Chains A and B, each alone.
Chain A
Amino acid sequence: QLQLQESGPGLLKPSETLSLTCTVSGDSISSRDYYWGWVRQPPGKGLEWIGSIYYRGSTYYNPSRKNRVTISVDTSKNQFYLRLTSATAADTAVYYCARHPLLRHFDVWGQGTLVTVSP
């Protein structure tokens, strides 16, 4: 049974870099046709796609976020990562990792992790 689990610091100061890890279990992150993505949800607001990665390293980003976002993958650890630079209070959100088949929909989600950016 495929499971995804986010991990990382829950509290950041403004201007710091947000770094999260998604650990995939129950299947290989190197499976064909599957991309792996990050989606966030500010408190009380809707979902926003941040970006996705293929196991070979190809990355795809939300055009409105790509200047501050880097997504990477480590197939040996079955993990992928999110890095968001110059964090502000507007980046406070629950961050989800999810499997993203063919960049078309998100079929398996992690439980989410709350990241708060506060002085």
Chain B
Amino acid sequence: QSALTQPPSASGSPGQSVTISCTGTSSDVGGYDSVSWYQQHPRKAPKLMIYEVTKRPSGVPDRFSGSKSGNTASLTVSGLQAEDEADYYCSSYAGSNNVIFGGGTKLTVL
């Protein structure tokens, strides 16, 4: 199995919007509505930000949104804030009780 493909880095200025992509195949991202996104600050555990492509857990700001088109999922952060600077990982169910992650994207708030 191959990891999902994410850009290594992304950036934006405070108040702007930034979108991070996550590309897989029809066997994972494209085949199931089970894409999730995680935020990880340095030396901290990952935090679930989006699940089932578009759903936000309680407490996650609505500035974070998810979407999917074909084999590519996206995380959009609107109204960027300094505290959004972190690593972001996507994950997808890949069938046969298997789960895969993306390689991660470092988001920099300029």
Contacts and interface: CB of A to CB of B under 8 A. Distances in A.
A96 B46 contact: yes
B89 A46 contact: yes
B98 A46 contact: no
Interface stretch (A7-15, A26-34, A79-87, A98-106): A98-106
A105 B45 contact: no
A105 B51 contact: yes
A47 B89 CA distance: 8
Contact of A47 (B34, B51, B97, B104): B104
A46 B3 contact: yes
A39 B36 CA distance: 15
B34 A104 contact: yes
Nearest to A37: B99
Nearest to B35: A105
B52 A105 contact: yes
B97 A103 contact: yes
Contact of B97 (A60, A96, A106, A110): A60
Contacts of A47: 38, 46, 89, 91, 101, 104
Contact of A106 (B46, B98, B102, B104): B46
Contact of B101 (A46, A60, A103, A112): A46
Interface string A39-71: 100000011110010000000101110000000
A105 B93 CA distance: 8
Given A49-B101, A103-B99, A109 B52 contact: no
Interface of A: 39, 46-49, 52, 60, 62-64, 96, 100, 103-107, 109-112
